[in-house]
């Protein structure tokens, strides 16, 4: 199974900061990666698909990049509503797998 390693596992940041989260795959997955945001008590929400395509309705401060084994989710200017846990998921091969998540906390 393809393993996805996210880093960092948690981070503290201030409103307005630029935040970058990475997701590394144990083998190449082309661009078959999605990013989700999850707030406590809620289901995850799709942010990015196909590594860099922004889901409809998601603010443009979110962006994704990468291909192969290394991927990045960037929040250009962190907003109060962005404090949450972010997870990546690969769709290249079965079993589909998730990264361990990155918790973004208020500094």
Applying CB under 8 A, the residues found at the interface with another protein are 1, 31-34, 36, 38, 43-46, 49-51, 53, 55, 87, 89-92, 94-101
- Of 19 and 37, which has the nearer Cβ to another protein? 37
Residues 6+ apart with CB under 8 A from 18: 74, 75, 76, 77, 78
CB of 41 to another protein, least distance (A): 9
Quote the least distance from Cβ 15 to another protein, whole Å.
Answer: 26
Gyration radius of the chain over CA positions = 13
Distances (CA, A) of 91 to 7, 76, 99, 106: 19, 26, 12, 31
Q: How many Cβ atoms are within 10 Å of 3's Cβ, its own excluded?
A: 12
C-beta closer to another protein: residue 68 or 77: 68
CB of 16 to another protein, least distance (A): 28
């Amino acid at each position: 199974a393809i393993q996805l390693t996210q880093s960092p596992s948690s981070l503290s940041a201030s409103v307005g900061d630029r935040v970058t989260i990475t997701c590394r795959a144990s083998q190449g997955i082309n661009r078959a990666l999605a990013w989700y945001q999850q707030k406590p008590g809620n289901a995850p929400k799709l942010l990015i698909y196909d590594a860099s395509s922004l889901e409809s309705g998601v603010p443009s401060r979110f962006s994704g990049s990468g291909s192969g084994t290394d991927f990045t989710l960037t929040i250009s200017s962190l907003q109060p509503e962005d404090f949450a846990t972010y997870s990546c998921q690969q769709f290249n091969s079965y079993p589909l797998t998730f990264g361990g998540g990155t918790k973004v906390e208020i500094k």
